[in-house]
Structures are given as structure tokens and as C-alpha cells.
Structure 1
């Protein structure tokens, strides 16, 4: 079963193909192959389907939830309509581990007597990396504009364990984490303005630039010049304290880590203000479309060996770096 099951599962994406959610919140391809699951989990308690803002008293309604109560769920391509686990090395931060769908599963946790999404960090060599773990994404499957997201997390190890770097964050659909070429040049581009900070290292005319751009500083106090940093993203949790109480990662204390380490999510719930239109829960909303661009640049989003935008192609022609008024006079 070990040798028969692994290659069958590893090639499941060839059976199911690529799936995403269109503007009407429908899975576009191979619907008959995917498990039937609704945006709101039927296991979500009734009292959790609405909430009131602590700051404005505005009423919010639940628009997406996953309680992870069914044990044994997996997240290989095609397994789930809203989630997919990565199978790559995350080079943007030079991670020590290889991310694999094998590291992510749902299970029952006796401590809280509830189902959980379990992401396991193991000391096991995988594709030349000394550790392996998991990264779960909803890229191009579930997106939302504005709202409130809530989760309950059990961190790995004892309370004083050092070295883990758990993360939970949001990112715009035009960038796919783990696929560097899709993110190359994405910041600081927005839909209305494409020139601010576009010169190398975010330099500007007349030498007016952040010190980190001019000096190559990596202290992150201003705009960072590190590849992949300051993309359109929002950290929900990704901060770790070090000895001087700064919030940065200076290394991994893997010699003192407890293996295996399990990061567990009891649930994930997304709320939006009452009356929010459905288009605000689309990966291709009319005012911030993404589908046409992704379709034109599929190699950027499905080939994680590409690291730069110009490594990809559009309609068979190699990509050309976009022009800007500071350099090209347009």
C-alpha cells in the first residue's frame, strides 16, 4: 500500500486538473470530480454565524468557514474545492524545509475534543532539504475583499520551545506563494498607479529614496529590498520574539526543536458586513480582475522553477518588463 498509494496520490493532479473559483463562486473545471463542500461548513455552530464589531457595533455575517471536523481529509491538488497544499521549496525566505501535501491532514485532537487541521514539521530529508512541513493555500479558489477572519490555533511544542515559525497570512490573488515569478515585480504595482518605487531598489529621481533602498539595509524599518517582501499581503500571525524583544527571525534553533511538531487549526471563519455582495467573495471581482491575467501567464503560476517575470511567456512570446515613466519616458 505504501508504494502503490504514494504514486497514485502524487499524480492525482493529472486526474483532476486545475480548479479555481470564477466570479459566481463556482468551481470552473471537473466539478464532478471534486468533493461537495459548501462555503459555510455545516458543522459551524449557529452562534458563530454572526458577529458584532467590537469597535463599531456593525453586524457581520459568516461567508466562509471550515471546522476541520471530518478526520482524514487531505489537500493534494483536486482533493478540496477551497484548499490546496503546496509541493515545493519556498525560496522567497530560503526555508529549511520542503513543503509537501503529505504533511497536512485533518485529525481529531483529544485535548480540545474537536477536529483540527494539522500541519506537521518533521526532521526528514526531502528533496535535499533537512526538514519537511506543509503550506496550505486557498489561492484562486477562495478569495474575499474586506471583512474579518477568525481562527483558533494550537502551536507546536511546549510553551518555552524555540525555533518554530508558524504563519497565517492573507495575500492578493495575483501573486501565488511558492511561485516566485508570479510575485516578481508585483509590488508596488496597483490598479491605479504603476510608477511609484519602480526603479531598481525602489530608488527615485533626485536620490529621494528610503535608506533601505540606498544602503541595502535589511532591517525592515522601511521599504525592504529583499526579494518577495512587501507584496500585497497581510500577516495574521507571523511574529516571533528574539532575545532583544525585536520581532524578526534571525535563524532556526532546530537543535532544540521537538520533532514532530504539529501546528493545529481548530477552525477558520471569514465574516463580512451584512449585505456585502457576492462579488466581494470572488477571486475575479469586476473591479479587481485576476482571471484574464492568470490565464495569459499560466507558466508564472504553475511552474515554481521560474523565478523572474521575464522567464515566463505570454501567447508564446517571452515576457518583457513593463515600462514606466521614470525610466522609459512613457
Structure 2
């Protein structure tokens, strides 16, 4: 059995927990960071929901992206690091620097600790928001050569992901030493939730199942979290992945009204509240004036966000599930765990 340790940052996160599950299945031992050890029981409960009871093959340590303390200890003895911990959208109206500074500084803290500990490679969970933001609709799919244009109308979350990924590449070039870096840039991540603390992308499905008024005219790529985790594991050890970005998406992008159609066609009575109409753009823009959580959506109205994962498929042998499978798996897990009533957000 593989005795190498892998550090996974932000172990209570949606993608991080599925990365932990994937690593455990491959026989690795996992150390993960949490802000408070009080959440270790919750984490282990979620992993059990995902089919794993790792015992002493999982250890939890405390470390915060805003503080240097604990990162050297977290990285010590680890062969690899999967770093996905990052500020995520809360809907609160905050200053741009409240998003950007923690993301940039957090990446640099993890990279410094990994370099100093002799880690072989860091796999950074970036985002499609570092590729597509501020760009016009393209006549070709977005790919890994694209970077967000921060002079455009860019949501602070997307700006933070762009600047933090750029900072990571700059660090490797300037002072990374022997440390290798690979970035994974997922589109909207769906798939089986393991508990009530899930990604903001999953709220798209939660809100539809809870009966939001309609669907904004937003186009989006989707990918299953299990496939995102699989891509992280492939990128961690494959020599070809050194110094590369990999965009993670499954098939063609979908308009949100098409996502609603999938739910209505596949989920039966459970989808009785799913909206059947598309909201006019003017109404969404009006709502964005009053609701900060809608402002990011308003910047995306009517834009084709199609992207390609050809590079990951060709170089790493990645084979993701369809976006329809990811949508259905999300809905089924929300229903199975009784989580729908816990979402109070709506469009």
C-alpha cells in the first residue's frame, strides 16, 4: 500500500473532500488542514457518507490561509500537496481586496511551505473564472491558453482566482526551487454532496429544486466533483502535467434553462418546483441593483461560456462523466441527505 503522505488544504471543502476520497482509494495517506479541529468529526462523517473510514490514514491539523502558523508542520513529510482552500462567494458586499488578498497570500503561504518541506508537486485548484472573466463570447471554446481580462467587468471572486493563480506561477518561476506546480481550472462543479457545507455551484441546483422564480440567461460548463478529484490525482503524479494548466469541464456548456429541463425530465416529482421559464435580462439586472449576490450573475448574461477539456483528455487520459450525470447526481444527493430545505437562497 502507498505510504506517501499528501497534504490537502481546506479539508472541509466540497472538492477537497472528494480529493481526499480519491487519494484514500489510491492508497495514499492524507493530512488535511482545517481552521478548527472541532470540524474533524464532521469531516470524517462526510467521508463516511462518501464510502471511506480512513482511521489513522487521515490526520487533521489546524492552519489558516491568513496566518503563517501551522503551514510548515502541515507540509512536513508530504510528497504532494493539493491546494484548493480559498475564499468563496458569500453574497456579502465586501471590498475587492477582501477577496483578493487572502487568495493571493494563501497561495504563497502554501507554496512556500511546500517548497521548504521538499514537496515534489503542488496541484492548485484554480477556477474557470481565471480563464473566462472579462472576455467577450469567443467563436471557439475557451481553453488553457486563455486568461481572464481584469480590465473588464469582473466579479471580485473571479479576479481573486485569476490573481492568485498568476501569483502561484510567478512564485514557481522566481523562487520555487525544485517545486513543481500544476493548476486545475474547473467550470461549475456539481456531483454528490457529502453534507450541508457544499460549493456555491451546487446552489444552482438547490435553488432550482426549491422553486426559484426562473432561470437567468446564463451559460455555464459543468463537471462532476468526482471527476475533478480524479483529474487532481492524475495531475499530481503524471510527469506530463508538470507546469501545466488543465481545464475541467464535461462536454458542451449549457444554459441554465437547459439544466432545469434535465432536472424536470430526470427527477420526476422531486422536480415539481423547478422553474420552466427564463428570466428576462432586464429583470436580473434590476435585481442585481438590490441584491449583491446577483451582481456576478448579471455580468454573465447572454455570454456563451463553452470550454474544452481536450488537453486533459489527451495528456492525462481523463474521461469525465456527462454534465447530465453530474446534474442528476447532485439532485439525488441533496434529496437523499435531506438538504433542500436548508437552502434559503433564490434568484
Q: TM-score, structure 2 length as denominator? A: 0.26
Higher share of residues assigned helix: 2
Q: Name which one, 1 or 2, has greater alpha-carbon Rg.
A: 1
Larger relative CO (CA 8 A, sep 6+): 1 or 2?
Answer: 1
